Amino acid sequence: MTEPLAGAGGEVAEELRDHDPRMPSRGPRTIASLAIAAYVTVVLGGVLAWAIPTLVAVVVSQGLDLLIIGNEDVRAALARGQFGIATRTLVRELGVTALVLSAAWSSQGSARVVAVLVLGVAGLRLGYHLLFVLIRRRSLPPVETRNIDLTGLRLAPPVPDVARRRLSERFHGVSAVAVAGAAVAVASQERVVAFVIVGVVVVAELVVVGWAAHWLFRSRGAVVRDRLHAAILKRVTALHPGLMLYHSGTEDTAYQVNMWLSTVDRLDRTTLIVVRERDCFAQLGATSSPAVCIPDPVDFMTFTLPDVRVAMYTANVGKTIHMLREPGVRHVFIGHGDSDKAASANPFSKVYTEIWVAGRGGRDRYSRAGVGIHDDDIIEVGRPQLGGIKLRDPGPVGDRLVTVLYAPTWEGWTNDPAHTSIVRTGPGLVERLVAMPNVRVVYKPHPLTGSVSAEAAKADAAIRATMARAGTPHATITGPSPTLFDCFNDADVLVADISSVLSDFIASEKPYVVTNLTGLAEDEFREKFRSAGEAYLLDPAAERIGAILDMVRGDDPLASARARLKEYLLGPSTPDAMTRFAAAVDAAYQTAVRLVPTRVAAGAE
């Protein structure tokens, strides 16, 4: 987590990260209650000169704070109660200061010096955070860029992550060392302990504050904030981008925009890639197109780009509204994959001018959903990203080593037990597969797996443990490389859930397996989920996986039907998907210009 400011700012950051106003379970309540009790003990122990209880409370409070930092519910609840990490740090320091002054452990002069040192720890921390207000203003540009010439602009020097990330937490831990040292000194009646431990912390903080002051000195004259925003806007405008690829989301969603980069790079018109979150922008893949990151809504809405006539959106998110408000633009939803998930026919799609799908299957999906999307607004453009996926070998698999790719989707937000197979099927499936001869398993979980459901996280951990025990040649793939498409080319068989992974894998015409977790009869399941129409269906306990692999090794009875399904889901082979996508872009651009010949951006009004 990032806490750019401490003090009240750190506590506000804690509160803003909260998404649930309640404390949802007994565990978080217990942690919060114990933490409050520990801090009360620190204060009482300090005032009443109880050295040992104060020391114990300091140690316990630090241990509890490690739990609080990792629990968003507790962290946010304490912040709402004005007892965030900055307040807790100060309470602990004042409690120990009272202990140092109230206990008869040393001469009055020595006690006062130690008390001043403890308060110095707090003061230097505050000083650093005040300096960092200025550092942040100079170092964190309103617009980050890639592939845009910034020659002639004097930018502030970079700030290391260690100096700006998790500031409240880092200083909280440093303070714990100082107050624990002071409490140990009082308990042991050894003032040298206090002078050494607290003194070392003070010196360390002086070094950090000195670095901050030096950085500010070096950054004098750097172009900052409004001037930098205007300068970058001028240079982006000079590129005359007619298209925009727009994405908003956490760093885990970067794959959603990355899958389109090679496609927009091949377009004749200049495409500006826009990402709204810095962490996600840091994960942006290789591209030759100009790219910007504009986190602040006001900065974005005043970044006026009158040449943009087509905006392509990768996901339905709240920040989409900041671009949707722009007149004279064809707002196009391209998504991040074609699938039969309910989310792939979201009623929110009505806000877009056009919806682009891969093939007839996508058009029919919206028709079946009945969410009010007009058929004329749906354009079939194929999946241009799939050009590098290799077709299956025409010969039989036989007894050779078979690579099975297990790529389940994540649990989603709907609490649908049939959404992902990872909980009910995944652990048992992988155990069966790694025990089979001539089978190699590649496990590639969705990047968001376990982010909502503890059960999904537990199942994912169990699968990874099984894969680790199995060893080579099996592999667990996380991170951006190798890509999912690389895994497709390496695999002989896919096991997956209802998701865009199915539709994309069908481009290879290789056999694939889908777990039927719905309880529907097989015919009903195939009818409801068209992408599973030519899949080998697996039972939730994965008992049929051996029989399915036997069929795949044999005559693979669904092979010819997969080729027909491929055209239904992804469109015809000719013209190729890139040609169809580029034609759709040109048509949308020309329509926008015809309807509004001269566009005035909303931010320029």
Question: How confident is residue 584, by pLDDT bands cut at 50, 70 and 90?
Answer: very high
Specify the range with the lowest mean pLDDT, choosing from 14-28, 148-162, 289-303, 555-569: 14-28
pLDDT per residue over 275-334, tens digit each?
999 999 999 999 999 999 999 999 999 999 999 999 999 999 999 999 999 999 999 999
The tokens describing 468, both together, are 């680790």
Average pLDDT rounded to a whole number, residues 142-164: 90
Please answer whether residues 313 and 249 qualify as being in contact, where contact means their C-beta atoms are separated by less than 8 angstroms. Answer: no
pLDDT per residue over 525-572, tens digit each?
999 999 999 999 999 999 999 999 999 999 999 999 999 999 999 999
Q: What φ, ψ does residue 248 adopt, rounded to 5°?
A: -140, 135
> What is the predicted pLDDT for the residue at 164?
78
- For the chain, the average pLDDT equals 91
This prediction's pTM: 0.75
The tokens describing 489, both together, are 């080319």
Size of the chain, expressed as the number of residues it contains: 605
pLDDT per residue over 246-261, tens digit each?
999 999 899 999 999 9
Question: Nearest 5 degrees, angle CA 372-CA 374-CA 378?
Answer: 120
Beta strand pairing status for 354-357 and 291-293? unpaired
Say whether pLDDT at 17 is over 50.
no
**Alpha-carbon distance 319 to 500, whole Å?**
23
pLDDT per residue over 41-50, tens digit each?
999 999 999 9
- Cα distance between the two ends of the chain: 37
Question: How confident is residue 166, by pLDDT bands cut at 50, 70 and 90?
Answer: confident
Please answer whether residues 272 and 310 qualify as being in contact, where contact means their C-beta atoms are separated by less than 8 angstroms. Answer: no
Question: b/e per residue, 283-301, with b = 16+ CB within 10 A?
Answer: bbeebebbbbbbbeeebbb
Average pLDDT rounded to a whole number, residues 153-175: 88
14 compared with 215, residue with greater pLDDT: 215
> What is the predicted pLDDT for the residue at 3?
32
> What is the predicted pLDDT for the residue at 224?
82
pLDDT per residue over 197-215, tens digit each?
999 999 999 999 999 999 9
Question: Nearest 5 degrees, angle CA 526-CA 529-CA 535?
Answer: 55
Long-range contacts of the stretch 61-64 (C-beta < 8 A, 24+):
61/35, 61/88, 61/92, 61/176, 62/173, 62/176, 62/180, 64/31, 64/34, 64/35, 64/38
